[in-house]
Amino acid sequence: MVSRATCAEVAQELGIGARLAARAPEEPAREEVERLAQTPSVIGAVLEAALGALFLEHGFAAIERAVVEAFSRHIEQSVTERVDPKTELQELLFPRGHQLAYAEISAEGPSHDRRFTCAVLVDGEELGRGEGRTKKAAEQEAAREALAKLDAAEET
């Protein structure tokens, strides 16, 4: 559940990007601040930094209620859905002695709009394949596919 993507979603829900843009300095930096305030990774990082600072200054007890409330949808989702398939696959296979590796199959498109295809290999054999805008996203999709195959095999 703890990821930059989750923090970016919560930051968007809290209006952090709009608040940053509203406090932008005058030209010429204003356009850059407004652009950054619309970038998910930036507002996710701002939320992460703010939570870290609040935790260090006041302790978790003081911010717990607000954090749980802000992240409640994601907390509930993490209980019912596979949030991090790579970790789940690793936790499932490593104790059984299996070797797990990810391989980049392809990277297509211009540098600002790449599409990656990755495979997850279990004991040297491909168990899943995924695509995404980043290698990590493609690996997560490959792991999700592998978990689905393992789930189906267990049901039969």
pLDDT tens by residue, 109-136: 998 889 999 999 999 999 999 999 999 9
- Using the predicted structure, report yes or no on whether residue 6 has a pLDDT greater than 70: yes
Based on the fold, state whether residues 61 and 111 are members of the same structural domain.
no
Residue 127 sits in a domain of what CATH number?
Answer: 3.30.160.20
Cα dihedral: 23, 26, 32, 36 (round 10): 0
Residues 29 and 94 in one domain: no
Strands of the chain (E only): list them.
Answer: 100-108, 115-122, 125-132
Q: Quote the CA–CA distance of 17 and 42 in Å, as a whole number.
A: 9
Total structural domains within the chain? 2
**Residue 111 shares a structural domain with residue 76:** no
Same domain, 8 and 72: yes
How do residues 85-112 score in pLDDT, each as one tens digit? 998 899 899 999 999 999 999 999 998 8
Using DSSP's 3-state secondary structure scheme, residue 42 falls into helix
Q: Of 62, 80, 98, which residue sits at a domain end?
A: 80
* Boundary (domain end) residue, out of 54, 80, 106: 80
Lowest-confidence range among 17-31, 51-65, 131-145? 17-31
pTM above 0.75, yes or no: no
Cα radius of gyration (the chain):
19
Q: Which residue has the tokens 């540098």?
A: 111
Indicate the residue among 63, 80, 97 that finishes a domain.
80
**Cα–Cα distance measured from residue 56 to residue 77, given in angstroms and rounded to the nearest whole number:** 27
Residue pLDDT, tens place only, 23-48: 888 777 888 888 888 899 899 999 99
* 60 and 113 in a common domain: no
Do 63 and 114 lie in one domain? The reply is no
Residue 20 sits at φ, ψ, to 5 deg, of -65, -45
Co-location of 37 and 73 in the same domain:
yes
Q: In sequence order, what are the beta bridge partners of 119?
A: 103, 129
Same domain, yes or no: 25 and 47: yes
Question: Which range of residues forms the domain containing residue 22?
Answer: 4-80
Same-domain check for residues 71 and 89: no
Answer yes or no: do 54 and 105 share one domain: no
Average pLDDT, the chain: 90
The answer on 70 and 98 residing in a single domain is no
122 and 138, same domain (yes or no): yes
Mean pLDDT of 52-64: 95
Q: What is the phi/psi pair of residue 13, to 5°? A: -60, -35
At 146 the pLDDT is 95
